[in-house]
Amino acid sequence: MRLSSEAAAQYAEQGYYLFKQPVFSEEKFQQLKDIFEEDLVRFTEGQLDMIHTRDERLLEFLMADEVLDLVESLIGPNIGLWASHLISKAPLVGKATPWHEDSSYWEGRVSTMAGICTVWLAIDRATPENGSMAVIPGSHHNGFSEYKPVDASTNIFDTEIVSVDEDKAVYFSLEPNECSLHEGRIIHGAKANTSPNRRAGYTMRYFPLTSQVYHDSPRNAGHKIWLARGKDQADNRFENA
């Protein structure tokens, strides 16, 4: 495992942790970045969500020990791959990401939201100026806040959490090949990219195999999961079984 007990304790208490070290070797990270640049041209923005189902080369990185050792430190040794998403915020015109919980979009798809972990790997340098992620520490104990409509022309979602104490927000700064890890229920968002620099990242999402994905739910139609490490404990159906 790559995280200290102190790091794991911070994640449990506050719902996030910044891993300010290279995740991959320089060579391996460059391979991933090259795939990213290629897929950014090949696919539409919508197709970059669940991109590993369209470009299987990415499974090498999603299943890599360098990543799974981080995740195991936080959710245990039995790990499923839930999703991944290549994200690029263009310079000057990148939309804002409204305050939200990932769990609010996954309701009815899995037996519990507890333990779902996102690794947000920086492809480019991420700063508050180019739209890096911000979190509300310790807000990961509910996961289903009240939402209100927002203008979809300036935001990537059309809803936002009604009441957020932005004075508590922590804005991330990451160098390329560093990552953040956040719990699926934490309140988070990002400002628009007003800088001349692109902000790109790869989100890799995992869940503990004590949780059951509801494969028969209409909301999971066509959704594929992979056994990443360890043993399943909840009768899940894996693409790589």
Q: Quick one: pLDDT band at residue 1, thresholds 50, 70, 90?
A: confident
* Cβ neighbours around 38 below 10 Å, total: 12
Is 198 within the bounds of a domain?
yes
Is 159 within the bounds of a domain?
yes
DSSP labels, 81-148: EEEEEEEEE-TTTBPBEEEE-GGGGSTTTBS--TT-EEEEEESS-B-GGGT-EEE-TT--S-----EE
Q: How far apart are CA 75 and CA 124, in angstroms?
A: 27
CA distances from 185 to 33, 42, 79, 144, 206 (A): 28, 32, 18, 8, 13
Is 150 within the bounds of a domain?
yes
Each residue's pLDDT tens digit, 164-179? 999 999 999 999 999 9
Is 44 within the bounds of a domain?
yes
C-beta of residue 179 within 8 angstroms of C-beta of residue 121: yes
Is 234 within the bounds of a domain?
no
Is 130 within the bounds of a domain?
yes
Which residues form the domain of 187? 5-227
Question: Which two tokens mark 4?
Answer: 């200290």
Structure confidence at residue 98 (pLDDT):
96
The CATH number for 184's domain is 2.60.120.620
Instruction: Give the predicted TM-score (pTM) of the model.
Output: 0.96
Is 238 within the bounds of a domain?
no
Q: How many domains does the chain have?
A: 1
Task: Tell whether the model's pLDDT for residue 42 goes beyond 90.
Answer: yes
Q: What are phi and psi of 28, to 5 degrees?
A: -70, -40
Is 76 within the bounds of a domain?
yes
